[in-house]
Amino acid sequence: MSPVILSAAGAALVLDDSGPGLPRVRHFGAGLGAVDGAELVPVLASLAAAPPLLPAQGDSWYGRPGLTGGRDGEHWPVRWTVEGCDADVTPGAGGTVTVTATDARAGLELVSELAMDAGGLVTMRHTVRNTAATPYRVEGLTCALPVPGRAGELLDFTGRWALEKVPQRRAFGHGVWSRENRRGRTGHDGTGLLVAGTEGFGFRGGEVWAVHTGWSGNHAHYAERLQEGAALLAGGELLEPGEVVLGEGESYRTPWVYFTWSGAGLDEASTRLHDHLRAARPLPERPVTLNNWEATYFDHGLDRLLELAGKAAAAGIERFVLDDGWFRHRRHDRAGLGDWYVDEGVWPDGLHPLAEHVRKLGMQFGLWFEPEMINPDSDLAREHPDWILGRAERMPPPQRHQQVLDLARPEAYAYLLERISTLVTEYALDYIKWDHNRDIAEPVHDGAPGVHAQTLATYRLLDELRARHPGLEIESCSSGGARVDLGILARTDRVWTSDSNDALDRQAIQRWTGLLVPPERLGSHVGAPDDHITGRSLPLAFRGATALFGHMGVEWDLTSASEAELEELATWIALHKRLRPLLHAGRVVRADHADPSALLHGVVLPERAIYAFVQLTSRVDTGPGPLRLPGLDPEARYEVRVAGPVPPRTGLPEWAAGPVRVPGAVLAEVGLPAPALRPTSVLLIEVEKV
């Protein structure tokens, strides 16, 4: 048979189904033009062996197998016999391939699904079914695609609470580089993307391949290169022993795993991911949001909250979210989680006085929950200690005075669904901030490891709430950015990028988290003048310009702000609203700026673009280098002007005095003379096609 070719947006994947065994991906990378599959047959025959869709030793793959598992008392290495390979392909627009295979002796059936969307992003998942009478323990099932030998570097990410997505690079040599997460959630140190690329790749140059597992529980990404020269990227759920045991006729399906390629650096690979998410779940206009946490913490005095809401509305804020502290016994973080009833002592009339006031001011109303957690000091824990995820004889170690509620237990699931749904209905909630503030340690559900069941139950709960309440928006927060993945984003509308609102740290956090997540889904707030985590003092102009390039919000006690500060904040919010159609629909670009003390990034649509030149720290060089604006049409001419407030004590070049017209090729290759900015300053540059 001729190989199957999936192609779209300059990318191509060639699947060789000539056998024996499972089809093999012979090429994943640059588009191949209008080639016919038959023309590739003699070429493929001369290529070195590539791993099949599910690598195994029976296919001469001596690296990590794609499937691991077994039965008690016998072991049969799997050798698949292909039963069918169904392809639905549109040249230049992607397509789907479904492969079914069996191994009668091993008692297993496999279904592998592979797809390329119109943006060139590849998704894959496997389903394995037990066809024998004895149980089969699935220990691992991963999705993998090959990368060529010229991919000689690896990039991934680490991090911690309030400092997520810290990049790290290394050579891609022989062996396995594996990033395994056993925290029960995606994790502050979750890599997000594992990237392989040609030496020295950057945002705008080099060839890169990347993998992401769309799963919010334990997971693994790895890169492997064998001495024979074959190499791959892989990802999947990380299963504990005994976590998935299949009876006869039962199946296990992997999460979707995402693969992206670019011939022009990280930005193009990122664009494919952004386009996929935007097409899968389009969003309405993103309202500017105020969250009261850093303004009032657990102080829920009604008069203070009403005053805060008034200041927010006057500044142009469109949504007010009441954070932690509104439910029973919640005067501090050591009690009350699980008791999802409005605290009658704090709110004798319920939340209605606040919700009604917020809506009279023209704002939406939202509420904070942490449904998956429970305080031992709560009515729920005292009434149902058996609902805690763990063994009753030896509870898991506590974190933050919390344990985890076993959502896979039907009674606990039903309780949460009823409580949250009732509150959404009573207060006509527009928005839920859904938090998850601890790692899951020693999870036990029905005597087996429990993260797999817990993650699926969380997904079901989110799906059911959205089905019951169309239009309800949900934010995924997990101690900030500890649950950022495409599994949770299939069910939520944005992520809280980090608990740190320190705009200097946020520049890097948002830059790297934004490789996976488009700006309209990145919660990005203007914090207080003195950050409550780092203690750093930063000017409002820097805080406002940093929050501008995300789903903008405010987390600051506006009742303590001066009139001048409130006026300046209103200016930044108005600018965000003006630029919002561009910021939340355009293509994100990041320059490989030569000066390590500064960043240059932007968002581009065909007719217009906005860029931020960010001076992070003091320059080593006396003068800043030119600003080469990426992503513009080289054949077009653009009008260039400064947008927004100009930072104080800025040395502006001549072009900034008024609009100038410059060809796109000049802006990209020669660039604009850079302004002289003080540290922690931002100059915004707006360009429009003429």
Q: Residue 263: exposed, middle, or buried by beta-carbon count in 10 A (0-12, 13-18, 19+)?
A: middle
Q: Are strands 473-476 and 494-496 parallel, antiparallel or unpaired?
A: parallel
**How far is 414 from 455, CA to CA, in rounded Å?**
16
377 carries an active-site annotation: no
435 carries an active-site annotation: yes
Torsion sign (Cα): 70, 71, 72, 74: negative
Query: What burial letters (b/e) apply to 463-476, b meaning 16+ CB within 10 Å?
Result: eebbeebeebbbbb
Cα-to-chain-centroid distance, residue 397: 28
**How far is 395 from 391, CA to CA, in rounded Å?**
6
Q: Starting at the edge strand that comes first in sequence, how are the strands of the sheet with 143-147 ordered?
A: 143-147, 231-237, 219-225, 175-181
**How far is 309 from 311, CA to CA, in rounded Å?**
5
Q: Starting at the edge strand that comes first in sequence, how are the strands of the sheet with 4-8 ordered?
A: 4-8, 11-16, 24-30
Helix (H, G, I), strand (E, B) or coil at 16: strand
Tell the residue number behind the tokens 């968002």, with chain if given.
603
Largest alpha-carbon pair distance within the chain?
80
**How far is 582 from 96, CA to CA, in rounded Å?**
32
Q: Are 335 and 324 in contact (CB under 8 A)?
A: no
| φ/ψ of residue 269, rounded to 5 | -60, -40
Catalytic residue among 117, 267, 339, 499: 499
Cα-to-chain-centroid distance, residue 102: 35
Catalytic residue among 189, 339, 435, 493: 435
Torsion sign (Cα): 147, 221, 506, 271: positive
The catalytic residue positions are 435, 499
